[in-house]
Amino acid sequence: MELHNGSYQIGGVEALQICRDFDTPVYVYDTEVIGRRYRELTQAFQGIRLDVKYACKASTNPALLKYVRSLGAGVEGVSIQEIRLALLAGFDPQRILYTPNCVDFAELREAVDLGVHINIDNISLLEQFGHFYGSSVPVCIRINPHIMAGGNANIAVGHIDSKFGISIHQMRHVQRIVDSHKIMVHGLHMHTGSDILDAAVFAQAAEVMFSYARNFSDLRYLDFGSGFKVAYRDGDVTTDVVALGETIVPLFNSFCREYGRELELWFEPGKYLLSEAGYFLVRTNVVKQTTATVFAGVNSGMNHLIRPMFYDSYHRILNLSNPGGTPRIYTVVGYICETDTFGWDRQLNEVREGDILAFCNAGAYGMAMASNYNSRYRPAEVLVHDAAAHLIRRRENFEDLTRTANLELDF
Ligand SMILES: *Cc1c(COP(=O)(O)O)cnc(C)c1O
């Protein structure tokens, strides 16, 4: 978002015009940012066979999926529904990786029938899979390398207590199952959470992956998941993808030479591609002075953007309606009957009732985690492409709230 002659623009379109055209609350995505991120990543890894699998749980709007596909990316999905959405968006099944956790075997079979890559993250499923498919369907195995991702336990998924992946210490058990069912292991996968991807930690993770990989002879790809850090506030440490490429490309190439096959390296960025490409725009309903603070109460809440309340995450907030206003301190809250605070003590240009506020970094895990709590409608979504705004999901209406309910039963 840039300020041009006193008006905020998203991808060359005036943000306030988007609110006039599509109303608020509304999620707005800028394709230009997604494309730039994708190119930065692929350029940093020139010299190896890189495949970027967009982790679509960050946002599954079909138009966004189609845009990501047009860039040349594949998809990583965690539910059979995400897989079907990716297929609907036109992805080749062979560019899709299905990485479920704690699902029924029937869901894996459905994914096999759809022709996508299957990532298996526990021993009992691997055994069932081998029993059922033998060597006829290749698999990827998700390992837990036990590398502790610092910070938030909710988003650290590689540590000892994590429910994700098969421990590297269970290698012998895995090997027995693979050998006895003649399972074709085409890929190994690790995704250690959202907080660790700097070159040094990554090099350590890569060594764990390589030593594990030496136990398998049919590999085609090694998938290093995600963990790319993006900036939520000024001064945040971000993943330096150029430095990462410089470290990893030679390590990977030398492993491939040793292994005797040119493997593909896969990444699964969600946030990295989408977070900064998205904004969530809301209207201020109430400005309320209390003894402690000034609340700006907006026409949204934890039902639409839950990350601040769920992960304690920081989203920058801008007042789009009053860019020249005197900066003052506000606590921005939602309209849900819960304590749904978006941000305490934020300095914003003076907020008046009716002003439009923007939450930054809203492209990933924003709309995807929205709910109907308090029986509110989920917001509309707009995609800005080539300086034009397109509605890519309409706002819900009252019929949407009752569509799945039984309205016949009465007392
Ligand atoms: C969530 C997830 C990702 C994406 O994580 P980001 O932090 O959004 O980049 C990648 N791979 C798997 C398996 C995931 O569950």
Q: How many residues does the chain have?
A: 411
List C-alpha distances in Å: 115 to 109, 137, 345.
10, 9, 51
Q: Residue 396 has which token pair?
A: 């819900």
Helix ranges, 23-119 (H)? 31-44, 62-71, 80-88, 105-114
In the prediction, which pLDDT does 162 show? 79
Only one residue has tokens 């990583």, namely: 76
> Separation of 138 CA from ligand 1 center, angstroms?
22
What mean pLDDT comes out for the span 5-26?
98
What DSSP designation does 48 have? S
pTM here is 0.95
Tell me, using a 6 A CB cutoff, whether residue 363 lines ligand 1: no
> Separation of 225 CA from ligand 1 center, angstroms?
7
CA distance 128 to 366: 36
Cβ proximity of 117 and 140 under 8 Å: yes
> Separation of 238 CA from ligand 1 center, angstroms?
16
> Separation of 268 CA from ligand 1 center, angstroms?
6
Query: Per residue in 144-155, pLDDT tens?
Result: 988 765 544 444
On the CB side of 27, CA atoms within 13 Å amount to 30
CA distance 247 to 205: 12
Residues 6+ apart with CB under 8 A from 268: 52, 53, 54, 55, 76, 97, 99, 191, 223, 224, 225, 226
With residues binned 3-state (H G I as helix, E B as strand, rest as coil), the percentages for the chain, rounded to 5, are 35, 25, 40
In the prediction, which pLDDT does 126 show? 97
Among 109, 108, 94, 180, CA closest to 142: 108
Q: How open is the CA angle 277-280-285, to the nearest 5 degrees? A: 165
Q: Residue 247 has which token pair?
A: 């470290």
Q: Residue 172 has which token pair?
A: 């012998």
Q: HEC profile for 199-228? A: HHHHHHHHHHHHHHHCCCCCCCEEECCCCC
Q: Residue 9 has which token pair?
A: 């623009």
Query: Per residue in 290-333, pLDDT tens?
Result: 999 999 999 999 999 999 999 999 999 999 999 999 999 999 99
In the prediction, which pLDDT does 95 show? 98
- Ligand 1 pocket test, candidate residues 121, 191, 230, most atoms within 8 A of CB: 191
Query: Per residue in 86-143, pLDDT tens?
Result: 999 999 999 999 999 999 999 999 999 999 999 999 999 999 999 999 999 999 999 9
Q: What is the CA radius of gyration of the chain?
A: 23
Q: Residue 61 has which token pair?
A: 């709007």
Query: Per residue in 240-253, pLDDT tens?
Result: 999 999 999 999 99
Residue identifier of the C-alpha nearest atom 6 of ligand 1: 270
Query: Is residue 195's pLDDT more than 70?
Result: no
Tell me, using a 6 A CB cutoff, whether residue 213 lines ligand 1: no
Q: Residue 324 has which token pair?
A: 């020249």
Nearest-atom number in ligand 1 for the CA of 268 is 10
Cβ proximity of 74 and 97 under 8 Å: yes
Indicate the residue type of 80.
Answer: I
Only one residue has tokens 């390590």, namely: 251
Query: Per residue in 160-180, pLDDT tens?
Result: 677 889 999 999 999 999 999
Catalytic residues: 337
